Every structure is written in structure tokens, then in C-alpha cells.
Amino acid sequence: MKNNSLKSIIVLSAICLVVALLLSAVNEVTAPLIAAAEQKAADGALLEVLPDATEFEAVEGEFPATVTEMKKDLGGSGFAFKLTASSSYSQSPLSIVLGIDNEGKITKMKIVNYAETKGNAADFEALFAGKDATMTDVVAGCTYTTNALKDAVKIAYDVFYEFADIEKSDEQKFQELYTAMMPSGTDKTGSYAMTQIELPEGVPASITAIYQPNTGIGYAMLGKSGETMLAIGVNAYGKVNYLSDLDGNDLLADAAYAQIITDAESAVPSIYTANNDSVIAKMVEKGIIASAAEAKTVDFGAVSNRVVAVYKVNGGTAYVANSEGFGGVLSVCYVFADNGAIVKYATLNHSEQDNEYAEMDYGTVIGFNSYPERFNGLTVDTITDDTLLIAGSTFTTTATKQCWNDIKAAYQILNGEAAQ
């Protein structure tokens, strides 16, 4: 009996050992397959935005908070990112998967989580497809969400160029210099909304592209001198106020680039003349001047801010500045008497119409009612933030303040006063 029990134990032990060895062998074969399947599922979204990828490898590094993951395709098709972004319309963050190929082009964007109240994910995915770091378009009616996505994508590009060992394009380097070329050129969200202008007839070959912010406060030009690509900032009156190579090295005072400055300033008279005629026509319409012949242009030099025109008019000097309010470009005009007192304020252009947040036409408030009258007799030293305040309208008030602050600076420069 004891022998039979011993034999049973030995047989069972042998069977267990064999089974264990078989399971171990099977596990050695299947474990990599299971892991690969799990990784493939995890990389499914990445493959969707980088469809030519063969195998992903995580890129290690310290990334900004918006970049939660970066992976490289070992097959060489590019890089895939997982990003987060947030806008003003939702408490829930936007979750984004982004593919960028080795030429710096977006292969595809996929929005995994979208809880915005405006637009839809497909609109944004289509907007970014095929673009690079210089994307400038906006989904209509969804400025905040578009800019939130742009900001996240731009940060992804910063990481891309740091870890992918790929040179930035001239166009991207140029775009990154917008802030230096025209620091006042941002829209109400702090982004640059630039429109490329068709090159005027006869423009020198050294000027290869001209861009203008929606507020019309100047021009950003891409130029070339010999083999050097240049970023050129030109103010609203056609004066060069910034010149650098695409690495940001200041060349404005370098005599070797005097010709490119002349070329840049010669490229905009036709554009400036058209803008100038439009401003003067508005001044006539608003009763600031009796006729176009009354306005005599004052040379404001190479200063760059929101002031787009200064004129000598009967009884004083008129200053015109543009900024962006709630609905679009806001253009205002202040007329100073020779003794420094303001004798006239007028809104030349606005898009501050009724909006979803308030039953108020703020364009009417700043253009009519009693708002313009509050400036009569005041000076650059007596206007305060309270003077400019438009109750219930943050964007319109901010735009009005921006215009005033730059007009004040222009006034002080032209009158030889120290900035207050």
C-alpha cells in the first residue's frame, strides 16, 4: 500500500513538473506576443496619426507639462506625441495625439477628448493636417480653442526640434521672430494672426514675403541679402524698425544691410497709401476734419506700436491707433490742441456688437453716448484707467487702453517729453 502511494506521488510530481515546464515554454513563446499585442493596442492612436510607423520607441527627456508622451518610429517615418491643452470654453482638458514626419509636417492630429461648446473635433483635425509649425489659420468662431490647440502643437514642435535633431525651417524661425518685429501685433488672445500680402508690383527681389497683422499696425517681411535670410519689421508708416538674421542677431545698425532697409521701405508705399486714404476717409466721415486735404501726415519715424497714423489738422494733431476688441479691429482717434488738451475723440472703426454675454452694443457705447465727451479737455497726464473703462466689457476696455497707451507714447515722443 505504501509502495502504491509513493508511486502515485512520484507520478503526480512528474506530471506537475512536465506541465510546469510546458507552461513555462508556452509562456516564453506567448508572453512577447501578448506584450506586443498590448503595446500595439496602446500605440493604436499613435499609428493612426503616424500610419507609416513600424515600431515605436519612447523618447526619454524632460518635457513641458502639455507633452505627456513622445515616441519615435524606429522605421524612420517620424514622431508621435500625446498632448493636453485647455481653452476658455471647457473645464475638461483637450487630449490630443499628434504625428509629425521627419520634414516637420503634421501627418495628422486626432483629438481624443473634446468637450468644447463650439466647433467640433473634425474641424480642428482638418485645420492642422499637412501644416507645419507656422500654421496660422483659425476655425471660424472658435478662436480660443484654435489657439489652445496651436499653443500645444507649438510646444510639441519645440520638443520635436530639440529631440529629433532636425533643423527648423526658415519659415518657422521667421515666425518665432514676430514678437521682436512687432511686439504690439498680437490679437486679443495673445497670438499673432498674420495675413500674407501679395507682393506689390515692382517690389525688390530681396523682399520675398510680406505679412501683416489683422490690426494693420505694420508689416513683417522676409528678405534676403546674399545668402543671409532676414527678418524685417516695418511700422505702419513704412519705416524699418527691426532687422535681424533668422537666428535673431540684430543687424539694424549694420551698414552692410543698408540696402535691404531701403528695399523694405520701398515695398510698402502702395499698401500704406491705401491704408492711409481709408483712415482719412473715416476721419472725414466722423467729422474730425472737413476734407482729406486738411490732414497732413506727420513722420513718426521707426517707432513700432499700435499707432497707425499721425496727422496735423486744423486746430491740432490727430493720432490714430488700432487694437483688437471683442469682435475685431478697434480703431480710435484722439485730437490734441496745440496746448496739449484733447479736443476730440472718435471711434473710426469697431466690431463690438451684441454678444452672447451681454445685451449691449459696446461699439455704440464707445462711439456715441457720453463716452467720447469724457475726454474733452483732458491731457496725457490726466487720463486714467477709470476714464477709459467701459463697464461690462473687458475686451473693449483692454483694446481702448492699449490704443491710448500707445497714443500717449507717440505724443510724448513727438513733443520731446520723457515717457511717464
Predicted confidence (pLDDT) per residue in 204-223, tens digit: 999 999 999 888 899 999 99
**DSSP letter assigned to residue 209:** E
How many Å apart are CA 318 and CA 144, to the nearest integer?
Answer: 34
What is the tens place of the pLDDT at every residue in 377-397? 999 999 999 998 887 777 888
**320 within 8 A of 310, measured Cβ to Cβ:** yes
Residues 6+ apart with CB under 8 A from 47: 40, 53
Among the residue ranges 70-79, 132-141, 149-158, the one predicted with the least confidence is: 132-141
Residues 6+ apart with CB under 8 A from 226: none
pTM summary value: 0.71
Q: Residue 63 in 3-state DSSP?
A: coil
How many Å apart are CA 296 and CA 225, to the nearest integer?
Answer: 35
Residues 6+ apart with CB under 8 A from 269: 238
DSSP strand pairing (307-313 vs 56-58): unpaired
| Contacts within 8 Å (CB) and 24+ apart, 287-296 | 287/346, 288/313, 288/318, 288/333, 288/335, 288/344, 288/346, 289/313, 289/314, 289/318, 290/314
Residues 6+ apart with CB under 8 A from 9: none
Decide which of 313 and 31 is more confident: 313
How many Å apart are CA 9 and CA 313, to the nearest integer?
Answer: 113
Find the mean pLDDT for residues 344-371: 62
pLDDT for residue 254: 96
How many Å apart are CA 230 and CA 314, to the nearest integer?
Answer: 42
Banded model confidence at residue 41, pLDDT cuts 50, 70, 90? very low
Residue 196 has pLDDT above 70, yes or no: yes
Q: Residue 350 in 3-state DSSP?
A: coil
User: What integer best gives the mean pLDDT of the chain?
Assistant: 83
Which of 67-81, 116-130, 161-175 is the most confident on average? 67-81
How many Å apart are CA 121 and CA 112, to the nearest integer?
Answer: 9
Residue 418 has pLDDT above 90, yes or no: no
- Residue of 331, 277, 287, 349 lying closest to 313 (CA atoms): 287
Residue 283 has pLDDT above 70, yes or no: yes
Helices 143-163 + 121-128 axis angle, to 10: 40
How many Å apart are CA 99 and CA 108, to the nearest integer?
Answer: 5
Report how far apart, in Å, the C-alpha atoms of 399 and of each of 118, 321, 366 are.
24, 10, 11
Question: What residue spans define the domains of the chain?
Answer: 48-168, 180-267, 271-414
Radius of gyration of the chain (CA): 31
Find the mean pLDDT for residues 272-297: 91
Q: What does 294-345 look like in DSSP terms, one character per residue?
A: G-EEPP-TT--SSEEEEEEETTEEEEEEEEE-SSSEEEEEEEE-TTS-EEEE
Find the mean pLDDT for residues 24-53: 66
pLDDT for residue 345: 92
The grid cell for 410 is 507717440
Q: Write out the E strands in 147-303.
A: 194-197, 207-213, 218-225, 228-235, 240-245, 296-297
pLDDT for residue 310: 94
